[in-house]
Amino acid sequence: MSPSHQNPIPAQKENKLPPWLSIYRTLKSEILTDELADDDRLPSEKQLCSRFSVTRMTVRRALDALQREGLVTARKGSGVYVNAKPTCYEINSGRRFIENVATHGYSVETKTLSVSRVSARADIAEKLGIKRGTRLVAIKRIRIIGGKPAFLNFKWMPAKRFPNFNKIYKINQSVSQVYGEHGIEEYHRVETRVSGGRATDDEARHLQLEVGAPLIRSQSLNSDSDGNRIEFSQGSWPLDSVEFIFPQD
Amino acid sequence: MSPSHQNPIPAQKENKLPPWLSIYRTLKSEILTDELADDDRLPSEKQLCSRFSVTRMTVRRALDALQREGLVTARKGSGVYVNAKPTCYEINSGRRFIENVATHGYSVETKTLSVSRVSARADIAEKLGIKRGTRLVAIKRIRIIGGKPAFLNFKWMPAKRFPNFNKIYKINQSVSQVYGEHGIEEYHRVETRVSGGRATDDEARHLQLEVGAPLIRSQSLNSDSDGNRIEFSQGSWPLDSVEFIFPQD
DNA sequence: CAGTGGTCTAGACCACATG
DNA sequence: ATGTGGTCTAGACCACTGG
């Protein structure tokens, strides 16, 4: 063995790209040009090693980058697979959720995970313009689009305003129907906020993600036609699955 | 040398935590409990190796996890530093960028990375309502807030509309001044879109993130007071650094 | 200059899935 | 049983920073 473990060919000094980066780019372009199609298995790490004349660690560095970008998924004992291109739902802030998604031809299913009474947390109380500790109706739901869990949703509403919430909601799990039965025919969006975050245990479980996986969260505040705030809603989406659209002016 | 390179103590089978994970958790708790304060330098990788009795690769696996979470930042040749708890900038869609951030008391610096002429890509042409291939002015900038790269920004504008772009922009790197000098006193936001994504090479380099790090991207379209679309703009933010606020109705 | 993180070689053992 | 990815050891050279 020579004293150096380095490549005996020290590579062109002009080519200053780290090997892992050029491997990454090569594989990425093969994925994006469909030389590697959706759900295809990549060559094994060992095969990639000999193809690119590097060790496994260098190949893995490139695969890690692809995986973080969501282009591939590694399955232990099986291989590394090309991910189907992420489905991205367009959420237009001017319309109701169901209209946003249904118009794109997806089947939407809503599963109510819980309906409960809680005391208002400080942040929610402030949004709704009520006192901290006021009784709220809290519902937790998961939206399933095309058979895949897509969206975890919490809503909080002043309980006093909706005495018959449970009875009416039970019928077809429609919040807007609850509103209608309580004399709220029209309501509108006051504000929407969009931010990033990392999946909590709860979010990860329901959305079938890893704990700490990147997310997009939306928060929105609705009021009735008299300007009374009636609902604060939060949603959590997998990072790559949604685009929010805000038409303005 | 023994035929095995493995640790001679094969570790308790009960403790099934991978070493890198327990190192990660140890360091994370030291950061979160302020044993390691903001801007502190962590012990060097070599020191951590001896502290935890592992090789550098194992330490680096743990540091990578911390870095992806945004808890620490590695500086080549210098060390690994604890990040100040993430600052989240509120971006209110009704106002200009500089107003959004400056009102929160941050210093904002803008660095123009390039100003060029390009042919309109199909997607940008569609947004701007022009033909594909039309000449555009493209600018690429990085916003530096409180000394840290915070926001990578691209803008595309029809070149024909701004014959003196370079000359005017050079003066104080102000796009709105370019607009003013070309007779556009007022312009307004037509639409904003917010979505998630993963850092490209370019984004990672400028925002000092890993390739594939989670991002929030915003796209916005501006038009002049006659409704002519004059600018398509895209921004990329580290996931945890921004909250978009959209007042509505 | 010495020290740091970034990258890489050349092996190894393990848990897991069944190409 | 074989092959896969997940993890690890024990070194090495490089570019960069100014601890």
Please provide the DSSP assignment of B27-47 as one string. HHHHHHTTSS-TTPBPPPHHH
Instruction: Return the domain boundaries, chain A.
Output: 19-82, 87-245
CB B231 within 8 Å of CB B158: no
Per-residue model confidence as pLDDT tens digits over B175-217:
989 999 999 988 888 989 999 988 887 888 888 887 778 899 9
Contacts of A224 in chain B (CB under 8 A): none
Instruction: Find the nucleotide nearest A44 (Cα to C1′).
Output: D4
User: How far is the C-alpha of B246 from the C-alpha of B104, rounded, in Å?
Assistant: 17
A190 touching B (Cβ < 8 Å): yes
Burial A97-106 (b: 16+ CB within 10 A, else e): beebbeeeeb
User: How far is the C-alpha of B13 from the C-alpha of B35, rounded, in Å?
Assistant: 31
Contacts of A246 in chain B (CB under 8 A): 93, 191-194, 246, 248
Q: What is the mean pLDDT of chain B?
A: 84
B32 touching A (Cβ < 8 Å): no
Considering only CB atoms, A244 lies closest to which of B88, B193, B212, namely B193
Mean pLDDT of all residues in B53-62: 94
Nearest to B240 by CA among A47, A132, A214: A214
> What's the token pair of residue B80?
């690994």
In the stretch 65-94 of chain B, residues with CB closer than 8 A to chain A read 68-69, 88, 93
Per-residue model confidence as pLDDT tens digits over A175-201:
989 999 999 988 888 889 999 988 877
Which residue is closest, via its CA, to the C1' of D3? A77
Contacts of B246 in chain A (CB under 8 A): 93, 191-194, 246, 248
Q: Chain-centre distance of CA B96, in angstroms? A: 19
A244 touching B (Cβ < 8 Å): yes
User: How far is the C-alpha of B55 from the C-alpha of B71, rounded, in Å?
Assistant: 22
DSSP state of A240: G
Span CA (B205) to C1' (C17), Å: 38
* Size (chain A), residues: 249
Q: Tell me the pLDDT band of B102, cut-offs 50, 70 and 90.
A: low
Which residue is closest, via its CA, to the C1' of C9? A5
Q: What is the CATH number of domain A19-82?
A: 1.10.10.10
User: Alpha helix locations (H) across B33-108?
Assistant: 45-52, 56-68, 97-102
User: Between A and B, how many residue pairs show a Cβ–Cβ distance under 8 A?
Assistant: 111
Write down the number of H helices and E strands in chain B. 8, 10
Q: What is the pLDDT of residue B8?
A: 36
The shortest C-alpha distance from B67 to chain A (Å) reads 13
CB A146 within 8 Å of CB A87: yes
Among A50-59, B111-120, B192-201, the least confident range = B192-201
Is residue B158's beta carbon less than 7 angstroms from any atom in nucleic acid strand D? Answer: no
Mean pLDDT of all residues in B62-74: 85
C-alpha gyration radius of chain A: 25
Per-residue model confidence as pLDDT tens digits over A212-224:
778 999 999 999 9
B212-216 long-range contacts (CB < 8 A, ≥24 apart) are: B212/A64, B212/A65, B212/A66, B212/A67, B212/A68, B212/A69, B213/A68, B213/B68, B213/B238, B213/B239, B214/A196, B214/A214, B214/A239, B214/B239, B215/A196, B215/B239, B216/A194, B216/A195, B216/A196, B216/A216, B216/B242, B216/B244
Please indicate whether, in this complex, the C-beta atoms of A245 and B193 are within 8 angstroms of each other: yes
Is residue A61's beta carbon less than 7 angstroms from any atom in nucleic acid strand C? Answer: yes
Burial B1-38 (b: 16+ CB within 10 A, else e): eeeeeeeeeeeeeeeeeebbeebbeebbeebeeeebee
CB A131 within 8 Å of CB A102: no
Structure pTM?
0.76
CB B82 within 8 Å of CB B36: yes
User: How far is the C-alpha of B45 from the C-alpha of B79, rounded, in Å?
Assistant: 8
Considering only CB atoms, A193 lies closest to which of B189, B191, B244, namely B244
Q: Tell me the pLDDT band of B109, cut-offs 50, 70 and 90.
A: confident
Per-residue model confidence as pLDDT tens digits over B128-168:
999 999 999 999 999 887 777 888 999 999 999 999 999 99
Is residue B205's beta carbon less than 7 angstroms from any atom in nucleic acid strand C? Answer: no
Q: What is the pLDDT of residue B69?
A: 76
CB B187 within 8 Å of CB B179: yes
Nearest to B207 by CA among B85, B12, B67: B67
Which residue is closest, via its CA, to the C1' of D7? B18
Select B87-245's CATH number: 3.40.50.300, 3.40.1410.10, 3.40.50.10540, 3.40.50.2300. Answer: 3.40.1410.10
